[in-house]
Amino acid sequence: MSDRILRIGSFLRGLWLILLSSAATTAAGGAISHSSFGKLPNGSEVTIYTLKNEKLEMRVMTFGARVVSLKAPDANGKMANVVLGYDNLEDYVSDNKNYFGAALGRFANRIANGMFRIEGREYHLTENEGTNTLHGGKEGFDRRNWMAKEVPNGVEFTLVSPDGDQGFPGTLVTHVRYTLHENTISIRYTARTDMPTVINLTNHAYFNLSGVGSGTITSERLTLYAAEFTPVDSNLIPTGKVEPVAGTPFDFTHNETIGARIDSDNEQLKLAHGYDQNWVLNGAIGKLHTAARVFDPVSGRILEEATTEPGVQFYTGNFLPTASSQTTSKYTFRSGFCLETQHFPDSPNHSSFPSTELKPNHIYSSQTNWTFRAR
């Protein structure tokens, strides 16, 4: 017991040093403002931050460390919001299905049967999608009100997840930093633990490059820089196989309309009601590489995504609509797409997949960039 106490004490002292070294600074190179976005049922205040320059404007809030909106110009310079979300906090609180714009953790995507083993010990997690644990469990990081501070060109959110949270081992301290530089949004994730654990962080923004409320995303054109994907079973859990995309509806190695093959007579598409699989990216893990490029022929907007992660979950909004939205009408079926950069789903249960284990005295680090252009 005394060793455990000493270990926790050492960890907390390390955390204190981290917090001291990252004291609030004045943002530079773009306007940053913040205001109240309301209060949660427990009375805690939710703050929303606006990052703005001459090219982009993004709002992020403390509840779920979420991207609430993101305005980008079309080919004529007209600004429009291209990220699905809600006008008010109440809708975010009541919606525990869609994860609009949220920072997901401790483990984004699915873990089969809500369990895994690490260093010979079995851990059981909260199950929130049948027998699966999805996006961290019943009370994942998307349901938490994060601490926030301004940093140069952006805002950093911090969350302390205690040992045993949703069944995961170890006290985990996570930082998610959003910064705006020219026409690029950069999302940087870092985390530390005091016990061996697993971690997989991402953002669950839904994009519609024609603008929120403009209809479906099936006419937008996608390139995925991935020659392989991980097929799933009937529970949307990877089978453990890695298969080539060539000759299948999952081949987006060349610019292709999202809706061209989405309703093909393909078992994988039927299981997910569209696309909701993980692609194995061509780039090296830990180095920033291009993951995806999307072009909207209606607005001329282009989204380019780069990441240090080995995979990207491409999801086509197959379980929309929702009851309310920023357009005061329902989000329709397939009215947004997600490009969730991450390690592979259910990685703790597949030794052949890149490891998601995080050990004490190591730092988890990941980065994803969204760059917007128009033509």
pLDDT of residue 325: 56
Q: Are 334 and 349 in contact (CB under 8 A)?
A: no
Torsion of CA 357, 360, 362, 365, to 10 degrees: 60
pLDDT of residue 7: 47
pLDDT in tens, the chain (375 residues): 334 433 444 454 445 444 433 333 334 457 999 999 999 999 999 999 999 999 999 999 999 999 999 999 999 999 999 999 999 999 999 999 999 999 999 999 999 999 999 999 999 999 999 999 999 999 999 999 999 999 999 999 999 999 999 999 999 999 999 999 999 999 999 999 999 999 999 999 999 999 999 999 999 999 999 999 999 999 999 999 999 999 999 999 999 999 999 999 999 999 999 999 999 999 999 999 999 999 999 999 999 999 999 999 999 999 998 665 555 456 899 999 999 999 999 999 999 999 999 999 999 999 999 999 999
Element (H, E) at 150: strand 147-151
| φ, ψ (nearest 5 deg) of residue 8 | -65, -40
Q: Are 99 and 204 in contact (CB under 8 A)?
A: yes
The Cα–Cα gap between 16 and 133 comes to 31
| φ, ψ (nearest 5 deg) of residue 322 | -125, 165
Domain 25-374 has CATH 2.70.98.10: yes
The Cα–Cα gap between 21 and 24 comes to 9
R_g over Cα of the chain = 20
**Nearest Cα residue to 50 out of 175, 150, 132:** 150
| DSSP at 76 | T
- Which amino acid type is present at position 24? A
Joined tokens for residue 351: 């030794």
Does 106 sit behind a cis peptide bond, omega within 30 degrees of 0 on the bond before it?
yes
**pLDDT one-digit tens code per residue, 114-145:** 999 999 999 999 999 999 999 999 999 999 99
pLDDT of residue 217: 98
Catalytic residues: 204, 340
Torsion of CA 45, 40, 64, 10, to 10 degrees: 70
Buried b (16+ CB within 10 A) or exposed e, 18-31: eeeeeeeeebeebe
Joined tokens for residue 250: 């999952």
The Cα–Cα gap between 235 and 350 comes to 16
Q: How many CA atoms lie within 13 A of 201 on its CB side?
A: 27
The Cα–Cα gap between 298 and 257 comes to 13
Distances (CA, A) of 44 to 102, 145, 147, 175: 18, 8, 11, 20
pLDDT of residue 29: 55
Q: H helices of the chain, where?
A: 2-21, 89-94, 267-272
The Cα–Cα gap between 348 and 272 comes to 22
pLDDT of residue 30: 75
pLDDT of residue 337: 98
pLDDT of residue 324: 58
pTM equals 0.91
Contacts 24+ apart (CB under 8 A), 285-288: 285/309, 285/310, 285/354, 288/367, 288/369
Buried b (16+ CB within 10 A) or exposed e, 317-344: beebebebbbeeeebeebbbbbbbbbbb
Handedness of CA 124, 129, 132, 138 (dihedral sign): negative
